[in-house]
Amino acid sequence: MSDLSFVRTEMLPEQAPPASEIGVVGWLRHNLFSGWINSILTVISLLAIYGVLSVLIPYVFQSVWNAESLNECREIMLANWGSTHGHACWAVINERWLQLLFGFYPPELYWRPILALVLLVAALAPILFADRVSSKLLIVTAIYPFIMPWLMWGGSVWGPVSIALGFVVGFMVLKYATNAMGELIALIAAVVSALIWWVLLAGVFAGALDAILPFALESVQSRQFGGFMLAILLGVVAIGCSLPIGIVLALGRQSHLPIVKWLCVCFIEFIRGVPLITLLFVASLLLNIFLPPGSNFDIILRVMIMVTLFASAYMAEVIRGGLAALPRGQYEGADSLGLDYWQSQRLIIMPQALKISIPGIVSTFIGVFKDTTLVSIIGLFDVIGLTHAIRADTAWNGIYWELFAFIALLFFVVCFSMSRYSMYLERRLKTGH
């Protein structure tokens, strides 16, 4: 009996998908021309990209790198391309890039800010990449706050050393007094003894050691600071100090003690309610009025204080958001384990709250770093202030775009890396499923 079935008994081989669905064509159809609206948008976008690139590419690449002045630049452009428009004069960057980076810092001392920057990387590495870098580098982190001012401002090495010794004194007192007198008294004693050291003894100690063993760097005045270095300096100090202060303020705002809470709320809302520029006015014009008569301290230090206070208030709000996002059960769990307030904050609450608020914390950092440019308004020669100074030079009178492009690039690189780092950190700390 022959097989009369008309049903195919073997499987056909799989056919290739239509040419319009795979490969480049398929990708184009799906992502760029999936409907008539999308097609129009794609065409408009392509035209816009063409328009921008057709200006930008000749501007960036058909440019002058070596010239003494803007006029010389224009002559070279006229000779090479027949027009002075649409071509960059990077010669100004070529000539002034060191000034844009370091301001009026003495050129023979450039190694000091550079060393401070290298040490900063070494100090930050064990914190930022805790899973890859040895924790031994934390020693650099601990001593960095004392080395950095010494490197930047110069002066005797014994000043920072004696200030650092104050912390050692306080720590020693805390360690030995805890057994004798109990924690709270020991803490108070430690703070008081450190204050006594700083106010009464540190100066004498530094002076004496300086007389015996003089070891000093050439000192640099604050008004010589400037350029992108100033932005980094202000940014690092404000970022470094604002995180701890912000945590304290956030805890204060969450506190059950009404007076403490009220003080923190007033401080945070006041700082967040006024523009940074008014705080900088306070730093440059008013801070001396509020200090004892005759005291006159450094403008950069004053600006640092105000920028730090500004950043702290924003940081406090970000961390408060993290604290509020934490489920109530975490607080209750910590209480039921019998932990006291500080233990539960340190071991249970803060690690989680800070993890939740990483994106906010980093965007506050980026905001503070960008806002350091505002110091040009109160007359410091940061990188934007320097563009006015460069334009005041007759050789470069009338140059705008190249300087702005260079500054924008500097800030973009730093801020963009910060935001990418926060994404990496979020991924690393992710414990959910």
Q: Please, which residue, 105 or 369, has the CB nearer to other proteins?
A: 369
In whole angstroms, give the CA distance from residue 250 to residue 326: 14
Residue-by-residue DSSP string for 267-293:
HHHHHHHS-HHHHHHIIIIITTTTS-T
432 interacts with other proteins by CB under 8 A = no
Using an 8 Å Cβ cutoff, are 237 and 304 in contact? yes
376 interacts with other proteins by CB under 8 A = yes
- The closest alpha carbon to 219, from 160, 163, 156, 161, belongs to 156
Q: How far is residue 31 from each of residues 28, 42, 403, measured CA to CA in Å?
A: 5, 9, 38
Binding footprint of other proteins, residue count (CB under 8 A): 54
404 interacts with other proteins by CB under 8 A = yes
Q: Angle at the Cα of 191 (from 189 to 193), degrees rounded to 5?
A: 65
Query: CB-based contacts of 92: which residues, under 8 Å, 6+ apart?
Result: 70, 73, 390, 396, 399, 402, 403
Residue of 119, 187, 358, 377 interacting with other proteins (CB under 8 A): 377
Site for other proteins in 239-268 (CB under 8 A): 256-260, 263
For the CB of residue 32, give the shortest distance to other proteins in the complex, in Å: 6
Q: Can you read off the two tokens belonging to residue 373?
A: 């440019």
Q: Can you read off the two tokens belonging to residue 160?
A: 């920072």
Q: Can you read off the two tokens belonging to residue 349?
A: 């609450």
First to last CA, the chain: 62
Which one-letter amino acid corresponds to residue 430? K
330 interacts with other proteins by CB under 8 A = no
Residue of 206, 236, 384, 386 interacting with other proteins (CB under 8 A): 384
Q: Please, which residue, 255 or 352, has the CB nearer to other proteins?
A: 255
Site for other proteins in 274-303 (CB under 8 A): 274-278, 281-282, 285-286, 288-293
For the CB of residue 27, give the shortest distance to other proteins in the complex, in Å: 8
Residue of 92, 148, 251, 407 interacting with other proteins (CB under 8 A): 407
Q: Please, which residue, 116 or 306, has the CB nearer to other proteins?
A: 306
Q: Please, which residue, 193 or 255, has the CB nearer to other proteins?
A: 255
83 interacts with other proteins by CB under 8 A = no
Site for other proteins in 15-54 (CB under 8 A): 31-32, 34, 38, 41-42, 45-46, 48-49
Residue of 141, 224, 352, 373 interacting with other proteins (CB under 8 A): 373
In whole angstroms, give the CA distance from residue 217 to residue 206: 15
Coil, strand or helix: which one is 82? Answer: coil
* Helix ranges (DSSP H) in 62-110: 70-81, 91-102
Binding site residues, other proteins, CB under 8 A: 31-32, 34, 38, 41-42, 45-46, 48-49, 184, 256-260, 263, 269-270, 272-278, 281-282, 285-286, 288-293, 366, 370-371, 373-374, 376-377, 384, 400-401, 404, 407-408, 411-412, 415-416, 419
